[in-house]
Structures are given as structure tokens and as C-alpha cells.
Amino acid sequence: MTDLERSSSAGDGRSSNGAELDLHPEPQYPVNDPGHPEHLPRLTDVDEKAADRATRQVATMFGIVPVLAIGFAVVYFAMPRTMYIDFGFLHVNLQHVLLGVTAGMSLLLIGVGAVQWARQLMDDHEMVDYRHSAASDRDDREYVITELQKGTEESKITRRKVLGRSLVGALAAMGIPLVVSFADLGPWPTKKRRAATIETTIWAEGVRLVNDVTYLPIKASDIEIGQLVNGQPENLKDLEGTAFLQAKAKSSIIVVRMDPNTISIPASRQDWQVGGILCYSKICTHVGCPISLWEQQTHHLLCPCHQSTFDLGNSGLVVFGPAARALPQLPITVDGEGYLVARSGFTVPVGPSYFERDSRHDFQEGDS
């Protein structure tokens, strides 16, 4: 038989000797499908006392969680942070260890309790979940609702209500460590705390204005019309570390001299300047960027971050941009040696706005 004849025979579903070929043979498995094993009931399915015992176990685990959560709060607030404990070669903070133990055990008990609930008390039967398209029609939605109701019944939560109540109590108690942990975000921004921190600077009556690079005092006679000088309070050099950085961030100033005949000085601020020399905060009232882009002709100070523009010839009022408040002005005068000194601290908080900030006493256009 030629190759062409063999090909023709195979294409007809016959072998070379004329016998029919099985084009779709049944698959051959090494072993037969054993099927599903026989379902055996659990002890809790046939023994009500065993079910009650499992219920108590789960409820006890959930019930311990609020105690541990309260313990977390007690450790956080009552235990000194200077106490340490040794674990072999480890020297660790005792408060951190106890915080981890109380929070970790709380989560562990919720997890173990939920697993024990599912293994011992929820209905135990095999089920098949068929795949379906991503779109959900009305029948599918009704099916989901039905399954949820069915799951609720199978969980026995309606019959053994202590399980649901203890679980809700355990989960609610876990909010205690979360809320307590918020304290580590920083001090509580009470009115008294704000007044002592972000709303005050180290400026005070008699503090000299110094150059922010050389720290040399600024003499009024040395400043020319149109000149801008970046400055700091003289007492800044007495601070170190974090205190220095925080004070500098709030106390930075700019000193400018303008022709008194070309600027508008309200009657309430006539003694805040010296011959056209005025002092303003260097911190933009929008989001707190340092600003010093000075336009001599217009007396405008421009913030490079978001283009807020302040008119230093008119009490630092905003003339353009997103800033909502005038630039705070520092009242100044001269001492017996002719050096510029502060009459007082800033009369309003410096820096960007925030929800609790009281802006009622800020200078607004039309004030005198």
C-alpha cells in the first residue's frame, strides 16, 4: 500500500487492514475515581453537651479580648517608658513588650475563636459552588441574599447568640488599642497646647533682629531703601537640636526698607516701623513655605511654591494666590545703639492656617 493509500484509509477512520479506528477513546486512569468519602458527623453534631462546651470555649476567647484591650490602654498610659527587660542578649523596652503581647493576644484569640467556631459549631457539609459570569442579574442577587441568610442559619449565630455578642464585643474592644495609639501621633492639640507651641515664637520685647547667616545685629542705618534682609531673633543661638530647628521654623523674618511716602501704614501700626523699615514673618500663610522673592518697585513678596503674593507696603495683605491671611508683621523699634529690636512677639500666629486657628484678630483690608 502506498503512502497516499495509507493516508486515505486513516482519513476514513479505518486502519490499514480495514478495521474501524476509535477516534474518541475513553480516557484511561491509573485508578478509579474513589468519589466522596462517607460523611461522618462531628461530636458536637450528635452531643449537645459537647456543642455547649465548644460554645463556652469560643465565647471565653472572645470575652478575654476586651480585658486585653483595656490592659493595652493601661500599659500605654500607666507604665513608665524607661523600664526595660532582658531576654538573653536582647535588652528591650518593657512597655513595648506588653503592648505587643496584649494587642497580639487579642488578635490571636479572635482568630482562634473564629476557627473553633467554624470547625465545631457551624454546619458541616460539602457543597459545590459553580462558576458564573461576572455580571449579576436579579436572580443572582436574590441567590446571594438567600445564601447569606443560609450562612447565618448555618453559623448557629441566631441560636447561640452568645457567640455573636461576644464576637461583636471582641471586635469593638480592638478599637481601644487603635484609639490609644493615636496618642503617639503627637501631643493633643488643645487650645493651651497650641498657644504654648505652634502659636508662639521666641520673639519678645527687646530681642534684637540679627542676620540669619552672620548672626550680626541689624542696624537701622545700614539698611537702604529697597533692600531686603533675611533675619532671625538673637536669642535663637541659645537653643540647640530640635528646639533650635522648631524655633527657627517659626521665628524666621524678613526685614525690608521702603520709602515711607510710597507705602500705606495704618494708624494702629505707626509705631511698628522705623523710618519705613518693616519686619514680617518669612513663613507663607498658605502652607508654610519660606518666602523672600522681593519686588522692589511693587513692594510685593512672592512665594515660589504656589505664587501667593503679599503687599509689604500695605500690612502684608494678600494680593494674589491661594493664601487666605495677611503676612504677620512683627512690631519693631531701635535700641539705644540704633539696632533693630522687637517691641513684642508676633500679635497673631505665624505660618499656615489650620482648623483650630482663630483668625478674627488678623489684619484685614480696611482695618486702621
CATH of the domain at 275: 2.102.10.10
Instruction: Tell whether 112 and 207 lie within a shared domain.
Output: no
C-alpha span between 196 and 191 (Å, rounded): 9
Residue with cell 498658605: 286
Flag whether 265 is in a domain.
yes
Q: Residue 336 has what pLDDT?
A: 92
Residues 68-97 as b or e (16 or more Cβ within 10 Å = b): bbebbbebbeeeeeeeeeeeeeeeeeebeb
CA atoms within 13 A on the CB side of 70: 6
CB 28 within 8 A of CB 118: no
Instruction: Tell whether 98 and 222 lie within a shared domain.
Output: no
C-alpha span between 273 and 330 (Å, rounded): 9
- What does the block give as the cell for 333? 523699634
Looking at 79, 102, 121, the residue that finishes a domain is 121
The range of the structural domain enclosing residue 91 comes to: 43-121
Cα angle, residue 320 at apex, residues 305 and 201 outer, rounded to 5°? 60
Q: Residue 364 has what pLDDT?
A: 60
Q: Which residue type sits at 193?
A: R
Q: In what order do the strands lie in the sheet with 228-233?
A: 209-211, 228-233, 253-257, 277-281
- What does the block give as the cell for 244? 533650635
Q: Is the dihedral of CA 143, 144, 150, 153 positive or negative?
A: negative
Flag whether 95 is in a domain.
yes
Flag whether 253 is in a domain.
yes
Instruction: Tell whether 232 and 333 lie within a shared domain.
Output: yes
Q: If DSSP codes are grouped into helix, strand and coil, which group holds residue 50?
A: helix
Instruction: Tell whether 117 and 205 lie within a shared domain.
Output: no
Along the 368 residues of the chain, how does pLDDT read in single tens digits? 454 444 444 455 555 555 565 666 666 667 777 777 788 888 988 899 999 999 999 999 999 999 999 999 999 999 988 888 888 888 888 999 999 999 999 999 999 999 999 999 888 877 777 776 667 778 888 888 898 888 888 887 777 888 888 988 998 998 888 888 887 777 778 888 888 888 899 999 999 999 999 999 999 999 999 999 999 999 999 999 999 999 999 999 999 999 999 999 998 899 999 999 999 999 999 999 999 899 989 999 999 999 999 999 999 999 999 998 999 999 999 999 999 999 999 999 999 887 777 676 676 654 55
Q: What is residue 282's DSSP assignment?
A: S
Flag whether 24 is in a domain.
no
CB 281 within 8 A of CB 298: no
Flag whether 29 is in a domain.
no
Q: Residue 5 has what pLDDT?
A: 47
Flag whether 228 is in a domain.
yes
CB 312 within 8 A of CB 300: yes
C-alpha span between 162 and 116 (Å, rounded): 15
Q: Residue 153 has what pLDDT?
A: 82
Domain total for the chain?
2
Flag whether 8 is in a domain.
no
pLDDT digits (tens, 9 = 90+) for 43-58: 988 899 999 999 999 9
